């Protein structure tokens, strides 16, 4: 069975747990995601540990955000780990995004628009103009113009972003929660089927899979549901 376009967030307490979760879900998903906390705790070793012998794609979610020269240097520093995807914050601006893209030509640079933990009230307090969807569309257009090959946006905005940037940009959606799962610290959420049907290319799912009694079986179940959605909508997985 073809693995589903899911990035399992390996937000584990230790390296052994992260590697174990990765081994359980890898038959069912295309990608595993290593976040800032795990990378800072274990460094480059974590990438080899979660990749294992499977060759699964690794999404290195560091959300780089600094002056262009510093971000370029940081991107080059992790390029030898061969991550499939590396994140930067879109709010770092076009020069910063362009510097990251040029620094790692063999890695897909994904620009994070607005964190899915932010609510409309948060954005207003931060001075971000307009509703979240409008802000995300503006950031998306700017990031793509600067060379970003992928965008990270909440599933609530994915349809609007797809309309804004066209079919060739990879849309990555965190804040994905299977029906019945708790939203936890995500404010703008949707089910995997809804996010996929709206045009997402890669769904980031963490605790609903890794916090379950059987992460492998849970990943397999979500993957099967996505395949059914794909067959029904014609959206290729």
Residues belonging to the active site:
63
- Rounded-to-integer distance, Cα 112 and Cα 175, Å: 13
For residues 225 and 148, give the distance between their C-alpha atoms in angstroms, rounded to a whole number: 30
User: What values do phi and psi take at 198, rounded to 5?
Assistant: -80, -10
Taking each continuous run of H as one helix and of E as one strand, the counts in the chain are 11, 8
Maximum Cα interatomic distance, the chain, rounded to a whole number of Å: 47
Q: What residues contact 224, with CB distance under 8 A and at least 6 apart?
A: none
Number of other residues whose CB lies within 10 A of the CB of residue 131: 12
* HSE, side-chain direction, 13 A CA sphere, residue 216: 8
156 vs 161: CA distance, rounded Å: 10
The residue ranges of DSSP E strands in the chain, in sequence order, are: 4-9, 29-35, 57-64, 85-89, 108-112, 150-152, 170-173, 202-205
Three-state DSSP at 36 gives: helix
In which region does residue 172 sit, left (phi positive, over 0), alpha (psi from -120 to 50) or beta (all else)?
A: beta
């Amino acid at each position: 069975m073809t693995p589903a376009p899911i990035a399992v967030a390996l937000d584990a307490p230790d390296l052994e747990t992260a590697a174990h979760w990765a081994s359980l879900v890898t038959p069912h998903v295309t990608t595993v995601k290593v976040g800032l906390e795990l990378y800072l705790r274990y460094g480059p070793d974590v990438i080899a540990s979660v990749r294992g012998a499977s060759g699964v794609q690794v999404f290195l979610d560091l959300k780089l955000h600094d002056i262009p020269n510093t971000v370029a240097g940081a991107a080059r520093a992790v390029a030898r780990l061969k991550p499939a995807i590396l994140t930067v914050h879109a709010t770092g601006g076009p020069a910063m995004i362009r510097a990251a893209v040029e620094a790692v030509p063999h890695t897909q640079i994904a620009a994070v628009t607005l964190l899915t933990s932010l609510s409309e009230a948060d954005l207003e307090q931060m001075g971000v103009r307009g509703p979240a969807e409008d802000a995300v569309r503006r950031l998306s257009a700017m990031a793509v113009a600067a060379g970003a090959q992928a965008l990270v946006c909440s599933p609530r905005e994915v349809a609007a972003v797809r309309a804004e940037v066209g079919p060739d940009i990879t849309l990555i959606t965190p804040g994905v929660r299977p029906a019945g799962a708790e939203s936890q610290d995500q404010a703008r959420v949707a089910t995997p089927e809804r996010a996929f049907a709206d045009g997402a290319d890669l769904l980031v799912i963490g605790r609903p899979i890794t916090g379950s009694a059987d992460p492998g079986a849970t990943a397999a179940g979500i993957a099967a549901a996505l395949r059914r959605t794909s067959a029904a909508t014609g959206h290729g997985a």
